C-alpha cells in the first residue's frame, strides 16, 4: 500500500535545470496576471509582488525559502496531511512554490498548523503563507512533471482513504456512537507514545483524555473526544492506516465506555482537561509550562517525536498516502525531530555479580542491533549500551525499563553520551567493554527482515525457531528448565522448526532468553529465542 507513490515519484526525472513550467495565475484583484516561469533564474524579473503574510485565506499557498534541490513530491507532502492537493507550481529560480489545496478550509488548517510548528525541508526552515491568488492555473504541457507526481499521490490517496482530507459527509456519521475509541497498534517496530497519539488524533477534534496500556502483549490505548462525531471521523480516516511507513498499523474500534476516568497525568495516561492531576507512581510531575499548554486545547504539544527515516513524522500523518509521498520525498522532516535520536542508553540497578556485556547484548538485542556495551568500572551496577539508531534505543527503553534481570528491577534511560568509547589500545578493562559492531547475531541488519514485525514486550511465552528435526519437546523442556525456571507449557508449530514455550514468569522467560538465544542445538542449528505475543 505504501509503496505506490514511492515508485512513481522515484521514476520522475529530477533534473532541476529543465524548463519547468509556464503558468497563468488568476487573481481576483486583476483581470489576469500572466507569468512565465523558467528554471534558469530569470523568473524573479517576471514575478512581481511578494504575497503578504497577513493576506486573506486562500486555498492557494505561497511557500518561500525552499532549498535549491527540493522536488515537487517534497512540497506536495507538506500539504497532504491536511487534505487533497490539487495543483503545484514550482518557481525554481526564486526558491518558491505555489501549492493549491482542494478547499480553503484545508489550507487554513495547514497554515495554522505550520505557524505553530515550523516546517522543514531537507533540514531547512521554510515559510508558508496565503497567496493573493484564489486558484492556480498551470500550463499542463510545461508542468507535466508536477502533474504526474500529483496524479500518483492522488491515486494512492483516493485508494486508501474514504475521505478527502478530514471532512466527512453527514450521512457517513451515525450518531449514538461512543466518544471513546479503543486503539490497538500492530507491527509496532517503532515506539508509539501517548504524545504521538495525541498529535495524530487531535486533527479530528479536541482530545480530552488518553489511557495507554499493554494487553495480550500489545500496545493499546483508550482515547476520548469531546464529541462522538469526532471519534467517528477519526475512526473512518485512520483505521487501518500506518503511523510510520510500513509499520505501526492503527486498528480502531468504538469502546463500550463513554467516559474515561484518568487518575494521573504521566506518560501512560493523561487528562487534558485537568492539568493539575498528580503524576502518580513516582514519575516526575509535568512541567508547569507543559501543564499550562495542556489546558489550552488548541496548543500543540511541542514534544519531540522520533521520526522514522524515509517516513513523514507522525505529527502529520492522518493517512498512508502522506507517508508514501513523504517516503518518496525521503527528506521531509519536522523541527526537533531527528531520525538519529540518542543511540546510547544508561542501564542502572543491574546485578553486578551476574551481569556481563554478553547478557546485556542478548537482551537488548531483542529490540535493536547493539553496537557496544560498557559496564562502568567505578559503578558496576550500571552500563552504557549503544544501539544502531535512536528508534532502537527508544524501543529498548520502552520495553525493558522496569523489567527484572538477574533478580533486580533494571532502570533504562537515555544517556547524554553520544557514543560508547572503547578502552585505549593495550588497556585491560577486565572485559567490561565489548564491541559488537560486527556481530553475526544482529536481528535487524537486513532491511525488511520479518524480525521487524515480531517485536513484542517481554512476556512469559517465548517463540523458539531454527529447531533441528532431531530435537524433541522433552529436550527443549529440559534445556529451558535448566535456566532456573519452570516450563509451564509447550507447543510445536506444524513443521517442528518453531515452537512456543511458556515459563512461569516474565522474569524467568527473560533469563531463559539471555541464556539460550543462539544456543547450539547441534546439526549446525543455533536456537533463536524471542518474546511472543501469543499464549499457549
Reduce the secondary structure of 322-372 to three states and give it as a string.
Answer: HHHHHHHHCCEECCCCCCCCCCEEEEECCCCCCCCHHHHHHHHCCCCCEEE
> Phi, psi at residue 420, to the nearest 5°?
-100, 120
User: Other C-beta atoms within 10 Å of 45: how many?
Assistant: 8
Q: What integer is the mean pLDDT of 277-297? A: 52
Q: Is the pLDDT of residue 310 over 50?
A: no
Tally the C-alpha atoms within 13 A of residue 46's C-alpha that lie toward its C-beta: 18
> Phi, psi at residue 145, to the nearest 5°?
-60, -45
C-alpha cell at 350: 543491574
What one-character DSSP code corresponds to residue 185?
Answer: E
Per-residue pLDDT of 355-365, as tens digits, reads 999 999 999 99
Per-residue pLDDT of 148-166, as tens digits, reads 777 766 655 554 443 333 3
Per-residue pLDDT of 210-266, as tens digits, reads 999 888 778 899 999 988 888 988 898 888 888 876 678 899 999 988 888 898 999
- Looking at per-residue pLDDT, the higher value among 198 and 36 belongs to 198
Q: What integer is the mean pLDDT of 316-342? A: 38
% of the chain with per-residue pLDDT over 90: 40
- Look at the alpha carbons of 285, 291, 295, 298 in this order and tell me if their dihedral is positive or negative: negative
Q: Of the given ranges (70-84, 277-291, 363-377, 401-415), which has the lowest mean pLDDT?
A: 277-291
Q: What integer is the mean pLDDT of 509-526? A: 94
Cα distances from 332 to residues 65, 201, 310, 512, in angstroms, run 15, 21, 8, 42
What one-character DSSP code corresponds to residue 444?
Answer: S
The most confident of 42-56, 133-147, 312-326, by mean pLDDT: 133-147
Instruction: Estimate to the nearest angstrom the gap between the alpha carbon of 469 and the chain centroid.
Output: 40
Averaged pLDDT of the chain: 75
CA angle 431, 436, 439 (to 5 degrees): 130
CA angle 375, 377, 380 (to 5 degrees): 60
pLDDT of residue 84: 85
How many Å apart are CA 88 and CA 96, to the nearest integer? 11
User: Other C-beta atoms within 10 Å of 227: how many?
Assistant: 13
Q: Is the pLDDT of residue 441 over 50?
A: yes
Burial (0-12, 13-18, 19+ Cβ within 10 Å), 141: exposed
> Phi, psi at residue 308, to the nearest 5°?
-95, 135
Q: Of the given ranges (345-359, 425-439, 471-485), which has the lowest mean pLDDT?
A: 425-439
C-alpha cell at 268: 501512560
Phi-psi region of 522 (alpha: psi -120 to 50; beta: other; left: phi over 0): left
What one-character DSSP code corresponds to residue 114?
Answer: H
| b (16+ CB within 10 A) / e for 97-135 | bbbbbbbebbbbbbbebbeebebbbbeeebebbbbbbbe
- Looking at per-residue pLDDT, the higher value among 282 and 316 belongs to 282
Q: Is the pLDDT of residue 88 over 50?
A: yes
C-alpha cell at 328: 518518496
Instruction: Estimate to the nearest angstrom the gap between the alpha carbon of 284 and the chain centroid.
Output: 25
Judge whether 464 and 528 are in contact, CB under 8 Å: yes
pLDDT of residue 78: 83
Confidence of residue 140 (pLDDT cuts 50, 70, 90): low
Cα distances from 98 to residues 94, 285, 304, in angstroms, run 12, 44, 29
pLDDT of residue 448: 67
Rg of the chain on CA atoms, in Å: 26
Amino acid at each position: 500500500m505504501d509503496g505506490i507513490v514511492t515508485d512513481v515519484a522515484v521514476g520522475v526525472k529530477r533534473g532541476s535545470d529543465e524548463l519547468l513550467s509556464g503558468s497563468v495565475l488568476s487573481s481576483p484583484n486583476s483581470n489576469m496576471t500572466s507569468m512565465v516561469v523558467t528554471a534558469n533564474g530569470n523568473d524573479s524579473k517576471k514575478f512581481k509582488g511578494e504575497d503578504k503574510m497577513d493576506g486573506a485565506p486562500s486555498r492557494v499557498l505561497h511557500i518561500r525559502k525552499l532549498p535549491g534541490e527540493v522536488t515537487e513530491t517534497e512540497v506536495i507532502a507538506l500539504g497532504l496531511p491536511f487534505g487533497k492537493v490539487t495543483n503545484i507550481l514550482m518557481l525554481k529560480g526564486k526558491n518558491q512554490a505555489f501549492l493549491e489545496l482542494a478547499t480553503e478550509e484545508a489550507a487554513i488548517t495547514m497554515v495554522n498548523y505550520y505557524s505553530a510548528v515550523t516546517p522543514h525541508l531537507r533540514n531547512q526552515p521554510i515559510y508558508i503563507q496565503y497567496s493573493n491568488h484564489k486558484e492556480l492555473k498551470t500550463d499542463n504541457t510545461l508542468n507535466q512533471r508536477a502533474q504526474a507526481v500529483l496524479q500518483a499521490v492522488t491515486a494512492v490517496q483516493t485508494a486508501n482513504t474514504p475521505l478527502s482530507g478530514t471532512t466527512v459527509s453527514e450521512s457517513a456519521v451515525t450518531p449514538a456512537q461512543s466518544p471513546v475509541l479503543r486503539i490497538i497498534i500492530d507491527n509496532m517496530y517503532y515506539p508509539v507514545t501517548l504524545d504521538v497519539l495525541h498529535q495524530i488524533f487531535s486533527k479530528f477534534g479536541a482530545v480530552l483524555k488518553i489511557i495507554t496500556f499493554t494487553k495480550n502483549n500489545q500496545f493499546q490505548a483508550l482515547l476520548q473526544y469531546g464529541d462522538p462525531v469526532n471519534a467517528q471521523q477519526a475512526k473512518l480516516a485512520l483505521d487501518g492506516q500506518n503511523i510510520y511507513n510500513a509499520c505501526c498499523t492503527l486498528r480502531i474500534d468504538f469502546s463500550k465506555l463513554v467516559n474515561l476516568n484518568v487518575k494521573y497525568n504521566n506518560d501512560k495516561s493523561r487528562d487534558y482537561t485537568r492539568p493539575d492531576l498528580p503524576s502518580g507512581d513516582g514519575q516526575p510531575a509535568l512541567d508547569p509550562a507543559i501543564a499550562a499548554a495542556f489546558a489550552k486545547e488548541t496548543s500543540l504539544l511541542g514534544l519531540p517525536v522520533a521520526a522514522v527515516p524515509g517516513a513523514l513524522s507522525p505529527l502529520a500523518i492522518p493517512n498512508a498516502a502522506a507517508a508514501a509521498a513523504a517516503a518518496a520525498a525521503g527528506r521531509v522532516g519536522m523541527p526537533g525531530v531527528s531520525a538519529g535520536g540518542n543511540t546510547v542508553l544508561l542501564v542502572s540497578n543491574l546485578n553486578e555479580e551476574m551481569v556481563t556485556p554478553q547478557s546485556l547484548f542478548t537482551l537488548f538485542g531483542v529490540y535493536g542491533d547493539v553496537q557496544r556495551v560498557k559496564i562502568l568500572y567505578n559503578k558496576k551496577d550500571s552500563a552504557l549500551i549503544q544501539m544502531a539508531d535512536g528508534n532502537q534505543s527508544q524501543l529498548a527503553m520502552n520495553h525493558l525499563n522496569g523489567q527484572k534481570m538477574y533478580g533486580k528491577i533494571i532502570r533504562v534511560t537515555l544517556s547524554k553520551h553520544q557514543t560508547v568509547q572503547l578502552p585505549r589500545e593495550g588497556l585491560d578493562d577486565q572485559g567490561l567493554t565489548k564491541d559488537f559492531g560486527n556481530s553475526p547475531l544482529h536481528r535487524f541488519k537486513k532491511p525488511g527482515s520479518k524480525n521487524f514485525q515480531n517485536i513484542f514486550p517481554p512476556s512469559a511465552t517465548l517463540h523458539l525457531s531454527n529447531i533441528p528435526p532431531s530435537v524433541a519437546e522433552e529436550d527443549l523442556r529440559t534445556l529451558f528448565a535448566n535456566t532456573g525456571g519452570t516450563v509451564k507449557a509447550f507447543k510445536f508449530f506444524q513443521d517442528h522448526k518453531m515452537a512456543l514455550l511458556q515459563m512461569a514468569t516474565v522474569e524467568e522467560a527473560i533469563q531463559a532468553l539471555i541464556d539460550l538465544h543462539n544456543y547450539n542445538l547441534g546439526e549446525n542449528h543455533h536456537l533463536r529465542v524471542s518474546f511472543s505475543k501469543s499464549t499457549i
